[in-house]
């Protein structure tokens, strides 16, 4: 297993995983657990790197599809996303929406 530096929003963690996707899923799960205890919240994206938190080679993964896969609900509607993150979902093109929300859309 490889060592990954992961961050999303104010949450940062170093963990071991098989690949960046597994690291991103573990980050979302651990962040949601920490949020229940008053810890820092998630952003819309998880940054995953083997070289450090601010590495230019980081893999960036959207949080919403991972959270949905886990059965968690975070910012599921366009109005919640606009309010929480300042993103006007209606201004995103179809590719950006698909990437951000996964194949299930909003």
Q: What is the C-alpha separation between 4 and 78, in angstroms, rounded?
A: 31
**Residue 9 pLDDT > 60:** yes
Helix (H, G, I), strand (E, B) or coil at 36: helix
31 against 76, higher pLDDT: 31
Provide the whole-model pTM: 0.73
Given this model, what pLDDT does residue 39 score? 78
Mean pLDDT (the chain) is 82
pLDDT in tens, 57-83: 999 998 878 887 887 765 556 776 676
At residue 54, the pLDDT reads 87
Separation between Cα atoms, residue 60 and residue 36, nearest integer Å: 24
Q: What is the mean pLDDT of residues 20-40?
A: 88
User: In this predicted structure, what is the pLDDT of residue 73?
Assistant: 60
Highest mean pLDDT among 14-23, 31-40, 76-85 belongs to: 14-23
Q: For residue 46, is pLDDT > 90?
A: yes
CA angle 47, 100, 18 (to 5 degrees): 40
């Amino acid at each position: 297993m490889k060592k990954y530096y992961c961050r999303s929003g104010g949450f940062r963690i170093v963990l071991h995983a098989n690949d960046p996707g597994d690291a991103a899923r573990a980050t979302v799960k651990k962040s949601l657990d920490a949020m229940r205890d008053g810890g820092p919240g998630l952003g819309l994206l998880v940054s995953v790197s083997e070289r450090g938190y601010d590495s230019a080679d980081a893999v960036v993964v959207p949080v919403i599809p991972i959270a949905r896969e886990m059965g968690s609900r975070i910012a599921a509607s366009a109005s919640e996303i606009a309010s929480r993150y300042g993103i006007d979902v209606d201004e995103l093109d179809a590719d950006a929406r698909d990437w951000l929300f996964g194949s299930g859309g909003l």
